[in-house]
Amino acid sequence: MFSDNHRYIKIFLLVLILVLLCLYSYRESKSIYIDLGMCLANAGQFDGKEILLENYVYVNSVSKDRFEIEQEGKKIFVVGAAEGLAPGDEIAIRAVFHRQGYMTLQELHINKLRNIKIIISLAAALFVAGLFLIRYRFTLNGFQFVERASCRT
Amino acid sequence: MPDLITHLSVSYLFNKPLKAIRYSTLFYCGAVLPDLATRAVSIPYHPAEFAVYPLHTPLGVVLLCLLLSFFFAEAERKQVFISLIAGSSLHLFLDLFQKHLQPGYTLLFPFSWKAFEFGLLWPETIVSMVPLWLVIIFVIEFRLWLKRI
């Protein structure tokens, strides 16, 4: 399995399988995961149903007993306690959708420290990339990474 | 996902005392690989979230590590694959400890979309532990350095 026999065919097949998996995931996820745009576009279908919005949901504005959220450019008001919320917060929310164009809050979680998480993850990724490039170099002869002579044990 | 410093720290603490993985650099690469393959695309371009999602599932990770191993010399390819898959497996295992409003990891993709997680810690709780990880690693490295001199 790990030999050089038919190496480029093996690479091609692995890429092909991964691409097919990605396409399958993209297609199927549309019928499994709901976003705000889908709810607003099919308001009658989602009326009275509990929906969960977790990805890239941001708070636009906050008032005493309701707040507005935005996901991928689509906005909606959510009726419910907005304690601890501030505009710009990224949240995950479980709420009941109403065809009139608002939602009733069931459960809410504020994704705190998200930007810090991204920044420190970026730093870690650069660190690992540095480790890798110190140890390996890419050669067109064989189209592969080889260990640098100074790092061989 | 926990942040990548947490992933790296845990993989370091796993690998340093055991010395189980021969290619430790590739083990660390594996420890960040699932997030690099997905978040590096989905954070700047949100609609791609589910298109790259398979690269953060067990089957996708195995295929990706196998693919990457073919870009290394034949003699070390098997060890490269083992190192990458060990790091990536640890990554996926750690992710399961996170908590979301609904479980987030479809371990049996593409055969099932049923998601699972242990759901013990919110992601921000894990981020707040990063200084602790860094201190522990610093102490270990400092003690090793003292032994060497």
The string of DSSP codes covering B40-65 is HHHTTSGGGTTTSGGGGSHHHHHHHH
CA distances from A108 to A51, A71, A94, A125, B146 (A): 12, 15, 6, 31, 49
Average pLDDT over residues B23-39: 94
CB atoms B71 and A94 under 8 Å: no
Question: How far apart are alpha carbons A23 and A20 in whole angstroms?
Answer: 5
Domain assignment of residue B85, given as a range? 4-148
pLDDT of residue B1: 62
Question: How far apart are alpha carbons B41 and B34 in whole angstroms?
Answer: 11
Q: Tens-digit pLDDT profile for chain A (153 aa)? A: 888 899 999 999 999 999 999 999 999 998 888 889 999 999 999 999 999 998 889 999 998 889 999 998 999 999 998 788 999 999 999 999 999 999 999 999 998 888 899 999 999 999 999 999 999 999 998 899 999 887 765
| Segment B5-21, tens digit of pLDDT | 999 999 999 888 767 67
Given B3, B46, B128, which is nearest A121 (Cβ)?
B3
Using a CB–CB cutoff of 8 Å, tell me whether B110 touches chain A: yes
Question: How far apart are alpha carbons A56 and A73 in whole angstroms?
Answer: 10
Q: Which helix (H) or strand (E) holds B16?
A: helix B4-18
Count how many domains chain B has: 1
Given A17, A112, A124, which is nearest B4 (Cβ)?
A124
Count how many domains chain A has: 3
pLDDT of residue A83: 82
pLDDT of residue A66: 92
pLDDT of residue A87: 92
Nearest C-alpha neighbor of A144 from the set B72, B23, B75, B26: B72
Say yes or no: A61 and A27 in one domain. Answer: no
pLDDT of residue B142: 93
Say yes or no: A82 and A142 in one domain. Answer: no
Question: Which CATH number do you get for residue A102?
Answer: 2.40.50.140
Average pLDDT over residues B77-104: 93
Radius of gyration of chain A from its Cα atoms, rounded to whole angstroms: 24
CB-neighbour burial class of residue A92 (10 A; exposed 0-12, middle 13-18, buried 19+) = middle
